[in-house]
Homo-oligomer: A and B are copies of this chain.
C-alpha cells in the first residue's frame, strides 16, 4: 500500500493491523495530492472534506474522550508528509495541531504542567508560521522571525537557554509570535483547528513541488506523478503526570547482539528528553537496571529509590511492552528499535524499525536468529551489512574513553580501525624510533606518502595525511596492511622543517599524542584506549555460509608472505594481485634496482637485474609457499622508475655515497625521469617493452621459484600479469618474452609447470579492444583504480579539490574510487568481458582494484558475470559476504 499511503502511512497501518497500539490516525492518499495539482485546493477540499471529518471522528472514538476542535477536551494531532520514498526537502512534521488560546489552558490544567502546555503552543505557532504560513525565509542565512523574537525575550530575561524561560515567558512569546504573523501575512493566526488542519494538509501538498523537492526527485529519478500522502495522527503525551512516560528500547543488545530486551525510559517526559540528557534516563528491565547500578557503583536501595526500572514502576505497561517487542520482532523477523509513550498508564507505540547495530551485533543476531529458526540460511546471510563486518577485524576505540576526547580535525576514513600514537613526520624517524623501542606507538603524519615511506608506515600504528583521497597511496597501502589511516585531512598544515603540524591555529609537535579513527576519519587529541579485534564463532559460521552461497571467487591483493597469510586466514581463494614493486623497496633490493635504473646500456642493466633475480626469486618462493595449491597472479613491474630514486637532496647524497656514483648523475637521472603527469607516463608494460630484460628477469624469478618449490613437494599455480596494456602488440611482445624465457627456464631446470599469462585492463583502450587483447591474454584483471581514473579523467591524488563539492551538489552520488561507477567504468568492464569471451570463451575475468572489497561493486561484478574479485586481505571477508549476498539476490 506504499503507493497510496506513502512509506510512513503504510508502516503505521501495518503496525495497527497486527494489533500494535499506535496513536490513532488516518492517511490522505497520494491520489489526493495529484488531484490537488490538477483541480486545485477548493475542488479537492470539497471532494474529501466529508471523508476527513469521518476519519477524524474515528480517531476521536479510538482515543476515547478527546475531540478535535473541542474546547473542553481538545484532541491534538500531528500532520506529516509521507511520500513513497523518504524525501528531504519536503515538509516534515507539524506537531500539536489543534491548539489555540483556549485549548492551551485546558491542556495546562489536564497535564498539571502549564510550562509544557505553553511550550507546545509556542512550538506549534512557530512551526505552523514557518511552514504553513511561509514565514521561514528562503535564504538560509537570513534569520527566522520567530527566532529573532526568542532572542529578544532571552535578552530581556537575561537567560541563555530556551529551557530557562518560564511558562509566563512562553505565554508572552506566543503573543509576540501571533503579532509577527499578523504583521507579515496581514491575517490573524488561525484559531480554528479545522482551518489549521486544512492549511497544514495543503502545505504538505505544496511542499511536493518546492525547488528542493523537485531537484531531489530529478537527481533520484523519482517521478513527479507519485505525489505525497498526508498522515494525520492523534498526539499522545508522556508528560501528562506520574502515570505517563516515554522511552526507547531495543529487542536485543545493539552493541553485542545479545538476545536481551533493553532500553531506557523517563517518567513524565517527552520523547526528546530521553536523548537530550537533561535527566538521567532509567532502565526498562529490572535486570538491566541492576546491571547499570552495579557499573555505576550504586546500591540496590539507592537504585530502587532514585532509578527504578519500568518493570518495577509500571508493571502493567511493562508487560504490554514485553509482549509487543516480541510481537514486533517476530513480525519483522529482525531486531527492532522501538519508540513508545505511556500516556496515563496506556502504552502507545510511536515507531518501530529495524535497529541499527554494530558489526558484532549484526553477526550475532543473524546467526542466533538462524539457530532460533527465525531465519533461513540465505536470509541470515542477507541480514548482515557486509561493510559492517569490517569492524570485527580491526582494533576499535574503547567506547568509554571515546566520550572524553576532543576532535581536532576530520579527514577521509581511508582505512578502518583505531590507533593512538606519538606524532612522527618522517618515515625514517619512525623506523629509528621503532628500532630503539618496538613498543613505541607512532602516528606517521605526512602531506602525502610515497613508496619510500613504506617501511615507516609499516612500523607506525596509524597514518595521517593532509592530501590524497580514499585511493591515495597512503590509503591503499594502509588498507593492504590492515592499518588505520586517515587521509586528505585538508585542515592540516604540516611544516616538515619545524616538525610541527597546525590545525585550526593549534600546533602539535613531534612526539605529542594523537589518535585516529580510521572508520570515521576523525582525528583526536591525546591518547585513547583501543580494543583488539575479536571475530569469534558467529563470524566463522557466517563466513562458512557465505562461502557456500557465493559464486564469485574472492582473492586478495598481497605482496608479502605476511599479507598472503592474513589473506588465507580470512578465506581468500588465491592472490589476485601480487605487486612486485613493493619488494624492491626492501634494503637488499633497492641498490641493484637503482643500479638498473642508472644503467645506460642493456648490458649494465642486465648485470643489475642478475643481482635482483635471486632476491626476487626468494620473495616469490615465500609467497608461493604460503599460497600453495591456490592461484597467485604476479604483476610485472608497474610504477615509473623515478619512484625508486630519492627526490630530495639528502636522499640523493646518501645514494651517491652508498653507490659511489656522482650525485650529479643521480640528479640528472631524476630530472630526465621527471614527468608532467606521472599517472599517464612511462610505466607498466611501457617500461617492460622498453627494457624487455626486466620481464625476462621477473619471469625467471617466478618460474624458478615455482620449480624450486615443486622439488620440495609444494604445488604453486602462477599467473603472470602484464600491467597497463592498451595495444594488442604491447601484450604480444610481452607474451613472447615470457614464453621464450619460460622455455629456457624449463630446459635449464629439467622440469616444466603450467602457468597463465594475462593482461591487466586499466586503460580504456584495452577494454574497448578487449577482443584483440584476448588473442594473447589468458585472463583479464581489471585494475579498477586506474580504469576509473582514466574513464573519468580524475587523478586520485588530486581529486580532493573538487570531489567534496561534487558529492555535496549531487553531481556525483558516490565517490567513484570507492563505489564502482556502473554506467561508465562498469560499461567498459562488461563490454570487455563480453568481447574477450567472444574470442576466448573460457577467459577468466576479475577485478583487482580497491573496488574488489566494496559490497556494491562486488555485486556489480557478480551481475556482469566476472569470475573473481580481489581486494586487500582485510577486506576479504567483506567481499565474500557481498559475493554471497549478490548470488542470493540474483537467484531471487
Contacts and interface: CB of A to CB of B under 8 A. Distances in A.
A793 B682 contact: no
Given A729-B811, A811-B729, A802 B690 contact: yes
Contacts of A828: 764, 768
Contacts of A801: 675, 681-682
Interface string A773-792: 00000000000001001111
Interface residues of A, number: 49
Interface in A634-685: 675-682
A805 interface: yes
A228 to B, nearest CB: 24
B794 A680 contact: yes
A353 interface: no
A420 B742 CA distance: 55
B810 A791 contact: no
Contact of A769 (B763, B768, B823): B823
A675 B797 CA distance: 8
Contacts of A689: 802, 805-806, 809, 811
Given A676-B797, A733-B811, A823 B763 contact: no
A720 to B, nearest CB: 19
Contacts of A726: 791-793, 824
A765 interface: yes
Interface string A682-711: 100010011000000000000000000000
A810 B730 CA distance: 10
A62 interface: no
Nearest to A806: B689
Interface hub of A762, A768, A769, A795 (most chain B Cβ within 10 A): A768
A798 interface: yes
Copies in the complex: 2
Contacts of A763: 791-793
A823 B772 contact: yes
Interface string A824-860: 1101100000000000000000000000000000000
A103 interface: no
A429 to B, nearest CB: 24
Nearest to A219: B729
Contact of A681 (B686, B795, B812, B823): B795
Contact of A798 (B680, B762, B805): B680
A578 interface: no
A727 interface: yes
Nearest to A826: B768
A463 to B, nearest CB: 18
A356 to B, nearest CB: 30
A789 B765 CA distance: 10
B790 A793 contact: yes
A795 B219 contact: no
Contact of A790 (B678, B764, B772): B764
Contacts of A764: 764, 790-791, 793, 824, 828
A878 B794 CA distance: 35
A793 B678 CA distance: 10
A390 interface: no
Contacts of A727: 811-812
B795 A676 contact: yes
Q: Which 3 pairs show the lowest CB-CB distances between chains A and B?
A: A680-B795, A677-B795, A765-B824
Interface of A: 219, 675-682, 686, 689-690, 724, 726-727, 729-730, 733, 762-765, 768-769, 772, 786, 789-795, 797-798, 801-802, 805-806, 809-812, 821, 823-825, 827-828
10 contacts: A676-B679, A676-B795, A680-B794, A729-B809, A729-B812, A764-B790, A764-B791, A764-B828, A768-B823, A768-B827
